[in-house]
Each structure stands twice: as C-alpha cells, then as structure tokens.
Amino acid sequence: MNDLQVLIDAVKRQGADIAPTYSEYLQLALALATDCGEAGRSVFHALCSPSPKYRQADADKMYTRVLRDGRGLVHLGTVFHLAERAGVKLQNLQTCNLAAPPHPHTRAYTHESTGCPPAATPPGKDVPPLPPLPGFSPYLWPPFLQQVVDCGDSPAQRDILLLGATTVFGATLNRLMYFVYGRKNRYPCLQTFIVAPPASGKGALTWVRRLAEPIHDDLLDAYNRKMQEYRAEKARRDALGKEKAATPEPEPPRMKMFLITGDNSGTGMLENLMDADGAGLICETEADTVSSAIGNDYGHWSDTLRKSFDHERLAYNRRTNHEYRECKRSFLSVLLSGTPAQVQPLIPSAENGLFSRQVFYCMPPIDEWTDQFNLSDTDYDSTFSRWGQQWKQLLDNLSGNVSSIRLELSAAQIKAFNLRLARLFGRAGAAHGAPMKSTVARIAINLCRILGVVALLRALNTLLPVGKDAVARPCYDDITSLLSKCPGLSPDPDIPQENIHDGVVPKYRLTATDADFQAVLSLAEPLYFHACHVLSLLPAIETPRQPVRTTATFLDRLPDRFTRQVAIDEAQRCGLLLNTLDSLLTRMVDKGVLRRTQRGEYEFASRMRTHVCVGEAGLQDCKFVARQSVGF
C-alpha cells in the first residue's frame, strides 16, 4: 500500500480527476477491489474525491458491488495507468507491488520483466512496452482485398479494414457461397464488433460501408421505379369511376434494401430482412445505435441477431390484420464499432449469446499526434465507392449465371484446422471456462466464413480490376468461360460433362490455397485474445469466478509449447507459487489439457471427437469413433 499512498498524495496535491467517466470510474473500483479487497475502499474514496462528480454514498455502493461481482481480472496496473493518463506526476515511487498481472487493456503500458507500469519502472531501465493485444500477422491478401487493407495508417487500422471488408464482401455474397460445417450449410455472414477508444481510428469502417452502397442504391432505385408504376396504376384505377370496383387494386411494392439501419424496431428489422429474402447488412459506427434500439419497448430483436448467425428461420405474425410472414433462412451480417463502454449495453453478459457469436477486435488508443494535412489528396470515400461498383458488376454477372459456390477444404487443411482449434478450445476452457469455450467453437465457424471470402477473391483475381490504371468496366459477356480459367474454381462434380461443354455450369466447387488457409487460420489466436479482453469488460454475475485469479492470465501468457522453466518464469510474473504451479500442471496433464512431450516439456493438447459417416450420402449412420488427444 506504500505506492498507493504515494499515488493518493500526488492526486490530492495536483487535484487530478483520474476517473472522469463512468468507464474509468468502474475500472478504478475493480482494480482496487481485486488486489486490495475491503482495504481498498478508503483508497477508492481518496482517489475519486478530487472529481466534481464524486458522491461518497454512490462511491460506497459502487465499491460494494464490485467487491461482490468483480471477476478479478483488473489489477493495480490500471490504477497507475489512469493516474498517468490524467497527468499525475509520481515521486518517490520505489517499488511496484503488483503481484497480479495488469488488466489486458493496460498491457501496452506494462513492463515486460517486472509487470510494472512505466511510472513505477526504475530509472535507467527503458524497456519497450508490450503491445496491448496481438494483431494479425502481415500477409499479402488477394489484390482486390489487399488494396482495401493498405488504406489503413496503422497495423490496427489495417486489421479492422481486413475484418470490415471480409464482413461486407461476405454479406454481399450471402446465399451465393456456402460451406458445410457441423452437418449444416453455412454462409459467409459475419457479425463483427470493433471496440476502440474515441478517436483511435475506427472511423475507417465508414469507408468499408461504401463497398456495399452500390448494391443498396440499386435496390432502392428499383423500388422507386416500381413505386412510380404502382402510383400510376393506382391513379388509373381511381379514375375509372363505376368500373373501379371490377378492377383489382394494385399491390404496392415492398421496399427492398441491403443496408439495414440499426435504429429499428423488432418487426421493422424482420420486415426489412424478409423483403430482401433474408439478406442484409447492419453497418453502424456507433454500437449504442443498435443497443438503444434493442432496449426500447418496440425493439427486442437481439434474438434476430442470434438466429441469423446460424441462418435460422425468421417469422412474425400480426394479429391486427392476420398477416403472417416468414423467411426460411436468414443471411444477416453485422459490422459495428464502439467504445469499450458501449459493449455491455449491447451484450449484457457472457451468457447472453451475442458474445460468442461476435468477431471482436480491440484497437489500442492513439499515443501520438498525427498530421492529417500531410496526407494523400485521395478521397477514400470515392475510392471505396468505385471499388464497390466494380465488385457489384462482377457479382451481378456471377449471381446471374451461378446458383452456388461451395467451399471445400482438403484433408490436410481439415486436420490442421481441427488441431489448431481443438488446442485453443482446451486452453480457453482451462483459462476462462464455458463462455470462452463457446466463443472458440464459433470462432471456428467465423474463420471458415473469412476463408471462403478470401479464397473466392483469390480465385476471381483476374476478373477484378486493381490499381489506378485498371479497366473501369471489365467485360463479363462470357462469364462461364472466364470462370473456367480461375484457379481454385471447378465445376461441381454432379454437373454432366455435356453441360460443362455447352457452358452451362450453375454450381462450382471452391478450394483455398495453402497459403491463404494458413493466413486465415493464424487469425484464430488473435481473435481469441481480443474476445478474452471483451470478456473482461462484461459483468461476472452469470459467470463462475476462477478459483485462482491469476490462472487465466498465466495460461494466456504461455506459448503452445513450453518448458517447465518458462512456466516458472511466467508464474513468478503472475504471482503463482512454485507448489501451486506444479499442482496446476499436474491437474492439467491429468485432464488432458496439457501433454508431456518429454521430461520438463509440455504442450497444449488438441482433444477432439471424430465421427465416420457411412451409408448413402453419409447420412444413414454417423458413428462415434474415438476421442483423440494429439499435438502438432
């Protein structure tokens, strides 16, 4: 507590408000409750009191609540980080009493060897900070996708442009492309949530929306034309006089759109989807637009988001006019961004169901000023709109001649995929319990969706114009002949050869290159760690607390393969005793989470169940064969 007293004195002396917003106020309470318990109550009051919003009774209630419900994931590193961000100057800080690791949100401000924030780092030891959360490994994606990614000014912005573009492209493909996973057809419809502090660069997602606007505008133009025809026909009928009764009344057209607003009622959302045959994209740069609509009396369409993840049937019944409507399958995609404080209003808890279905990416805060004048004169809104027009032109020709494209993995790719995700699944369960196991199970589905988009863009590379000198409107008159030359695309085996010879190929099989497959598979761990961070932002009311607070962080810090000495080093950083470590490793080996590769060496195991399907079309008998525990 000596360091905390130094901090209290500095805050009071400088009159600093280190928790000006509710989000920081909550983080401060959670950190003190985790590492100080009841003794941290007085510290909490002392650190909050300089704020003009401070109320002693409210602060007491807050601290009592976090003592009861906190998950133990926010630690004292957050307290010192908040103070530093508020400009508090610390003096005479001798030690860093942070036995527990800092909150994931403050990993960027953590000393690698000591776990101390910069303010507590001993003078003369200038150690580079760790990145807050892992980003994606650099890779040359298909050129049409790569030009979108290259518009990012930072690694994190390039990452979110990759996720945003695959979400939009997947939404436009919807029912055209699919893969079979878990004995069910699944389509490239992602639900992506970019979490970022204000002014951190998430606004780049507004460019990505432009990729879908040509499709949306075309649908609205068609609706407006039909509406004009309807009004003219209705006017002619109204002018008939007595003969009007013998003439059927024209039916107004339904408003078909692609971009669906998040500020919508429950029935309005269903109507928009059904009018568009179940397909659509919600793209909002402020997540509270969606959470506010869902929370209203006329909202409550959170279940629509959950059902759409698995392409389930949607329906509603109006009692006033006895109207019943349904769509057999839903193809809704979602692209949201928001601040950390906007996460919980949309996803109340890890048990809500939306948590495990989202693809999360948490951007770090900006740490330096960037000159916005000394940039290219290119208007990215116009550039992305042009790319959207080019994509729409090819997509119109595809959908007019092709009914389905099925993604298929090779046997080697399936094996590598299962091993990678099974290992991550076991690790997530050991570290975080059921919520993260469910998340990993759905990360697997989302990886296949991303892979489908990447593989198709790679296959269509020669048909998509790229670069400033590209042809504005390529010719797709003989699309079947062009597709026959695309690597990775082949006619479906069920299509007769004479049809292929005549150029009638409505169904295709799609394969992914090994390089693209490995690049998409490498996204598994970063997406997992970003989801773990979002989990720490949610309340733990419905989530069982871990018996050892630091176990989750300790397991997350370990590599897939490690020696006992590496485990000892990480355990010391996390405040685990040697006996506790040995007991933990033994239990994890007994449960099959870890494997001993040789004396003193371990690796996270991949445990999976394997089925062999026999009978006609593999549907008659699907028998359980074995549970495997293997490693790479």
Is the per-residue pLDDT at 611 higher than 80?
A: no
Q: Is residue 49, in this structure, part of any structural domain at all?
A: yes
Is the per-residue pLDDT at 618 higher than 50?
A: no
Residue 608 is part of a domain; what is its CATH number? Answer: 1.10.10
Q: Is residue 412, in this structure, part of any structural domain at all?
A: yes
Q: Is residue 532, in this structure, part of any structural domain at all?
A: no
Greater model confidence, 159 or 349: 159
Of the residues 461, 493, 526, the one at which a domain ends: 526
Tell me how far apart the alpha carbons of residues 379 and 372 are, in angstroms, rounded to a whole number. 13
Number of domains observed in the structure of the chain = 4
Which pLDDT tens digit goes with each residue over 121-152?
333 333 333 346 889 988 999 999 999 999 98
pLDDT of 100 reads 34
Is the per-residue pLDDT at 119 higher than 50?
A: no
Which pLDDT tens digit goes with each residue over 466-503?
875 455 557 788 888 899 999 999 999 999 999 888 88
Shared domain for 398 and 472, answered yes or no, is yes
pLDDT of 87 reads 81
Is the per-residue pLDDT at 211 higher than 90?
A: yes
pLDDT of 90 reads 64
Of the residues 497, 526, 555, the one at which a domain ends: 526
Tell me how far apart the alpha carbons of residues 452 and 462 are, in angstroms, rounded to a whole number. 17
Which pLDDT tens digit goes with each residue over 139-189?
999 999 999 999 988 889 999 999 999 999 999 999 999 999 989 999 999
Complete DSSP assignment for 156-216? HHHHHHHHHHHHHHHHHHGGGEEEE-SSSEE-S--EEEEE--TTSSGGGHHHHHTTTHHHH
Q: Which amino acid is at 142?
A: P
Shared domain for 386 and 353, answered yes or no, is no
Is the per-residue pLDDT at 619 higher than 50?
A: no
pLDDT of 549 reads 45
Residues 6+ apart with CB under 8 A from 595: 589, 602, 603, 604, 605, 629, 631
Is the per-residue pLDDT at 512 higher than 90?
A: yes
Q: Considering only CA atoms, which of 160, 167, 172, 151 is closest in space to residue 216?
A: 172
Q: Residue 552: which H helix or E strand, with range? A: helix 551-557
Q: Considering only CA atoms, which of 522, 600, 520, 605 is closest in space to residue 560?
A: 605
pLDDT category of residue 297 using cuts at 50, 70 and 90 = low
pLDDT category of residue 540 using cuts at 50, 70 and 90 = low
Q: Is residue 349, in this structure, part of any structural domain at all?
A: yes
Which of 42-56, 98-112, 440-454, 498-512 is least confident?
98-112
Q: Is residue 142, in this structure, part of any structural domain at all?
A: no
Which pLDDT tens digit goes with each residue over 4-57?
778 888 888 888 888 888 778 888 888 888 878 887 888 888 888 888 888 888
Shared domain for 23 and 63, answered yes or no, is yes
- By residue range, what is the domain housing residue 576? 547-632
pLDDT category of residue 319 using cuts at 50, 70 and 90 = low
Average pLDDT over residues 451-467: 92
Shared domain for 358 and 384, answered yes or no, is no
Shared domain for 573 and 485, answered yes or no, is no
Cβ burial 331-343 (10 Å sphere, 16+ → b, else e) = bbbbbbbbbbbbb
Of the residues 495, 526, 557, the one at which a domain ends: 526
Residues 6+ apart with CB under 8 A from 292: 263, 345
Shared domain for 487 and 568, answered yes or no, is no
The CA–CA distances, whole Å, from 486 to 301, 483, 510, 512, 530 equal: 41, 5, 10, 12, 35
Distance of CA 16 to the CA centre of its chain: 36
Average pLDDT over residues 387-400: 93
Greater model confidence, 614 or 517: 517
Shared domain for 434 and 570, answered yes or no, is no
Average pLDDT over residues 533-561: 68
Q: Is residue 8, in this structure, part of any structural domain at all?
A: yes
Q: Is residue 560, in this structure, part of any structural domain at all?
A: yes
Is the per-residue pLDDT at 624 higher than 50?
A: no
Angle of helix 2-14 relative to helix 76-85, nearest 10 degrees? 20
pLDDT of 345 reads 87
pLDDT of 595 reads 86
pLDDT category of residue 73 using cuts at 50, 70 and 90 = low
For CA atoms 585, 590, 594, 599, give the dihedral sign. positive
Which range has highest mean pLDDT (335-339, 465-469, 576-580)?
Answer: 335-339
Shared domain for 293 and 335, answered yes or no, is yes
pLDDT of 376 reads 63
Average pLDDT over residues 265-278: 88
Is the per-residue pLDDT at 537 higher than 90?
A: no
Shared domain for 221 and 355, answered yes or no, is yes
Shared domain for 518 and 555, answered yes or no, is no
Radius of gyration of the CA atoms of the chain, in A? 28
**Phi/psi at 510 (nearest 5 deg)?**
-120, 130
Average pLDDT over residues 226-249: 86
Shared domain for 413 and 500, answered yes or no, is yes
Shared domain for 420 and 505, answered yes or no, is yes
Greater model confidence, 526 or 8: 526
Q: Is residue 207, in this structure, part of any structural domain at all?
A: no
Which range has highest mean pLDDT (191-195, 378-382, 592-596)?
Answer: 191-195
Is the per-residue pLDDT at 336 higher than 60?
A: yes
Tell me how far apart the alpha carbons of residues 432 and 81 are, in angstroms, rounded to a whole number. 25
Q: pTM of the full predicted structure?
A: 0.74
106 with 78: CB under 8 angstroms? yes
Average pLDDT over residues 423-436: 84
Report the chain's mean pLDDT, rounded to a whole number.
Answer: 81
